[in-house]
């Protein structure tokens, strides 16, 4: 038995799901303050509603379920549930949206590249294949969303709340890259860290963060 921490899944584990891995939101995945608030406030006040039978969350009435699709290869892609809100959308990411009416949308951010879209399409096909009932996935490009899409996110039809950083309008294909540096036998070895999070910053290493027009050198204490 091997213990794997969420966000640290090895490639061969993700490959077992072939793009069908789904991570749902729970109270445990929320920040402590938000988790406590969701547990104590009424349904009309809480941003997420707790299922009485399980430690899972469901969106407020009228909202859909939104999943961000990530991964560096189709067979290793996975979908992570995020807050069903227009503010969760990012032009550099692809998403799956399940609406309360049963419609399913695959949303392609404006600055996603062909590889990201191919990975997202593969994940959507795997969702279709594993669904208990027949579902039809409608592919949408950013700024081509129908009213039903925004209603499922609790947003106005304009949908101007989602993120698209100014500099990414010029270099939309770019995504930040993190590299770990280690000196071995009078030589410097550099290894890229994929799908990185803050926890990947190791105190015993020097790290390089390439943000296209900025380069950061992080040195552990």
Task: Report helix, strand or coil for 53.
Answer: coil
What six digits make up the tokens of 145? 């969303």
Cα distances from 137 to residues 65, 107, 197, 211, in angstroms, run 14, 10, 30, 34
User: Strand 177-184 to strand 215-219: parallel, antiparallel, or no bridges (unpaired)?
Assistant: unpaired
The structure tokens 């096909």 sit at: 125
Bridge partners (DSSP) listed for residue 70: 78
Task: Report helix, strand or coil for 19.
Answer: coil
pLDDT in tens, the chain (221 residues): 788 888 778 888 888 888 888 888 775 445 444 443 333 333 333 333 444 445 455 656 667 899 999 888 888 888 989 888 888 888 888 999 999 888 899 999 888 889 899 999 999 988 877 776 677 889 999 888 888 998 888 876 555 555 554 444 444 456 788 898 887 777 888 888 877 878 888 777 889 988 777 788 988 87
Cα distances from 67 to residues 2, 33, 75, 187, in angstroms, run 27, 23, 17, 42
């Amino acid at each position: 038995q091997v213990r794997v921490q969420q966000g640290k899944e090895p490639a061969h584990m993700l490959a077992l799901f072939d793009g069908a891995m789904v991570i749902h939101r729970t109270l445990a995945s929320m920040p402590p303050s938000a988790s406590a608030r969701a547990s104590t406030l009424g349904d009309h006040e809480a941003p997420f509603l707790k299922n009485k039978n399980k430690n899972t969350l469901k969106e407020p009435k009228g909202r859909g379920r939104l999943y961000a699709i990530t991964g560096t290869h189709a067979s290793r892609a996975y979908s992570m549930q995020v807050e069903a809100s227009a503010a969760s959308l990012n032009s550099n990411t692809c998403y799956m949206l399940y609406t309360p009416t049963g419609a399913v949308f695959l949303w392609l951010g404006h600055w996603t590249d062909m590889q990201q879209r191919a990975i997202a399409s593969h994940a959507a096909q795997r969702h279709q294949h594993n669904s208990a009932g027949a579902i039809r996935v409608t592919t949408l490009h950013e700024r081509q969303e129908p009213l039903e899409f925004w209603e499922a996110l609790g947003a106005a039809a304009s949908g101007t709340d989602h993120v698209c950083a100014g500099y990414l309008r010029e270099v939309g294909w770019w995504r930040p890259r993190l590299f770990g540096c280690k000196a071995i036998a009078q030589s410097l070895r550099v290894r890229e860290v994929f799908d990185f999070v803050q926890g990947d910053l190791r105190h015993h290493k020097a790290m390089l963060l390439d943000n296209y027009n900025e380069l950061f050198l992080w040195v552990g204490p």
